[in-house]
């Protein structure tokens, strides 16, 4: 038994919007055997643009039943049926959400007439309900009302069945089929083409803009998991609605995928990535000589064209470092801008001579550089005759890439020829340091003489 459903709503996602009208046609595969249709009071104002589209206004629903008043009838009609709708995930998410709020748990199989029509009538210009019915010469009246659209969907389903649709329906309803949970614009082939390997995947919208970047140990499995839960909130529903294409970049290891994902989020700034959208490094430690000949240290906003001794994401992080340097090497806090009050004449007279003080500054910088390690992380590549290499230079991530067999290197500069540079950030740096802590054998100090990778 099929339950062909159409609803009208106050908005695009179930968790914050109500149903204003619902129509159900129970169909046995040959004819309609039951019909239910009613306006519903959503207990919220209907936006003007919805009224202009559907014709349903606040006055019309004022005396209509609440959803909870008809929930038992709707649940009984839907039980043990196949839930059918044009773009089924939209209607199903609303009905399931509001039934659950009324104490009923909907768990029926779903059938999307958009997907079914694409299989049976390929190559049409549009698969919207109105355009599809016109292309197939099917009657459609009372457009954008639940009864009119549901009745048109009944005619469409019957037309699909009459044109060999039963075989497609049987395949689409199998548990192993992805047809019931995939976003409208994606196909099983899109999922099937994904690799069972580590990497980074990209979701593209209708304009082919990348709206989400993710990383995975198993790209196919991880991408599939995005679509198997029908969350009714606005962000989730909007996200699913706009995904039209998936692209990916296969990686050799999970660490490479973590690094690439973070770099790509910072580069692309995708709409639906939230957790790593933090500011890039904004502060740095600088050295300069003042007009009295003193070398001075200062924390300032990071400048593009001025070389820095070290960079920080947070001002506090830099201040903690410079205070430790001042304490350890007896640096003057005013010459380091830790104390920003002006020098008194007495304080100026008590300062060490520039050559003596500058020697202490140089010692502090040398100690800082010794504490900022330069090393490579070597791991397996995608192919046998290569190794994945990630470079940490002076404590910060420089870049990564693949080294071919026979590569000799004695310094970071030797490796840079083969690597792609990336912007450093906390997520990348912390991931690499955590990895080498667990896998110390994969860390290679570049202080060693003549190193090479041989297959």
Q: Reply yes or no on whether the pLDDT at 172 is more than 60.
A: yes
Q: Reply yes or no on whether the pLDDT at 103 is more than 90.
A: yes
Predicted pLDDT at 450? 43
Predicted pLDDT at 175? 67
Distances (CA, A) of 40 to 65, 127, 145, 320: 5, 28, 13, 62
Q: Which stretch of 31-35, 150-154, 238-242, 374-378 has the lowest confidence by average pLDDT? A: 238-242
Query: Helices 113-120 and 165-172 sit at what angle, rounded to 10 degrees?
Result: 130
Predicted pLDDT at 384? 87
Tell me the pLDDT band of 307, cut-offs 50, 70 and 90: confident
Q: Reply yes or no on whether the pLDDT at 341 is more than 70.
A: yes
Q: Reply yes or no on whether the pLDDT at 277 is more than 80.
A: no
Q: Tell the residue number behind the tokens 């410079």, with chain if given.
A: 322
- pLDDT average, residue stretch 266-295: 85
Per-residue pLDDT tens for 356-370?
Answer: 999 999 999 988 877
Q: Reply yes or no on whether the pLDDT at 448 is more than 50.
A: no
Tell me the pLDDT band of 424, cut-offs 50, 70 and 90: confident
Q: Reply yes or no on whether the pLDDT at 453 is more than 70.
A: no
For the chain, what is the mean pLDDT?
Answer: 90
Helices of type H across 335-411 = 345-350, 354-371
- pLDDT average, residue stretch 55-77: 96
Question: Strand 110-112 relative to strand 245-250: parallel, antiparallel, unpaired?
Answer: unpaired
Check if the beta carbon of residue 112 is closer than 8 Å to that of residue 86: yes
- pLDDT average, residue stretch 20-26: 97
Question: Could you tell me where the beta strands, DSSP code E, fall in 64-151?
Answer: 82-85, 110-112
389 strand-pairing partners: 378, 401
- pLDDT average, residue stretch 52-68: 95
Check if the beta carbon of residue 256 is closer than 8 Å to that of residue 377: no
- pLDDT average, residue stretch 211-238: 83
């Amino acid at each position: 038994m099929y339950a062909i459903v159409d609803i009208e709503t106050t908005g695009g996602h179930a968790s914050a919007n109500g149903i204003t009208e619902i129509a159900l046609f129970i169909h046995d595969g040959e004819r309609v055997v039951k019909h239910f249709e009613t306006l519903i009071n959503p207990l919220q104002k209907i936006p003007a643009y919805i009224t202009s589209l559907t014709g349903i206004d606040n006055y019309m629903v004022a005396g209509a039943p609440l959803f909870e008043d008809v929930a038992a009838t709707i649940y009984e009609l839907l039980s043990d049926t196949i839930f059918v709708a044009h773009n089924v995930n939209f209607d199903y998410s609303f009905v399931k959400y509001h039934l659950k709020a009324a104490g009923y748990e909907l768990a029926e199989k779903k059938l999307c007439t958009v997907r079914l029509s694409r299989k049976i009538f390929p190559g049409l210009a549009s698969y919207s309900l109105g355009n599809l019915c016109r292309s197939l010469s099917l009657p459609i009246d009372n457009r954008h009302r639940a009864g009119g659209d549901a009745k048109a969907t009944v005619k469409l389903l019957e037309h699909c069945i009459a044109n060999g649709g039963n075989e497609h329906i049987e395949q689409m309803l199998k548990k192993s089929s992805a047809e019931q949970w995939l976003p409208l614009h994606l196909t099983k082939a899109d999922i099937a083409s994904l690799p069972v390997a580590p990497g980074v995947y990209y979701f593209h919208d209708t304009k082919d803009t990348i709206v989400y970047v993710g990383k995975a140990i198993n790209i196919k499995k991880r991408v599939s998991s995005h679509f198997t839960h029908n969350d009714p909130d606005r962000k989730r529903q909007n996200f699913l609605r706009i995904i039209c294409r998936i692209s990916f970049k296969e990686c050799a290891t999970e660490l490479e995928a973590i690094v690439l994902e973070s770099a790509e989020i910072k580069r692309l700034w995708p709409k639906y990535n939230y957790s790593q959208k933090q500011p890039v490094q904004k502060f740095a430690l600088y050295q300069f000589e003042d007009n009295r000949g003193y070398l001075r240290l200062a924390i300032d906003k990071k400048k593009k064209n001025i070389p820095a001794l070290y960079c920080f994401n947070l001002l506090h992080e830099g201040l903690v470092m410079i205070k430790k340097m001042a304490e350890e090497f007896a640096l003057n806090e005013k010459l380091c801008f830790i104390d920003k009050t002006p020098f008194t004449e007495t304080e100026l007279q008590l300062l060490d001579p520039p050559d003596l003080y500058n020697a202490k500054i140089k010692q502090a910088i040398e100690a800082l550089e010794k504490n900022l390690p330069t090393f490579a992380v070597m791991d397996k590549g995608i192919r046998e005759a290569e190794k994945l290499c990630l470079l940490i230079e002076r404590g910060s991530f420089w870049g990564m890439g693949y080294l071919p067999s026979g590569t000799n290197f004695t310094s970071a500069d030797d490796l840079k020829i083969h690597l792609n540079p990336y912007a450093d950030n906390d997520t990348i740096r912390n991931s690499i340091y955590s990895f080498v802590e667990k896998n110390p054998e994969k860390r290679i100090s570049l202080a060693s003489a003549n190193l090479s990778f041989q297959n």
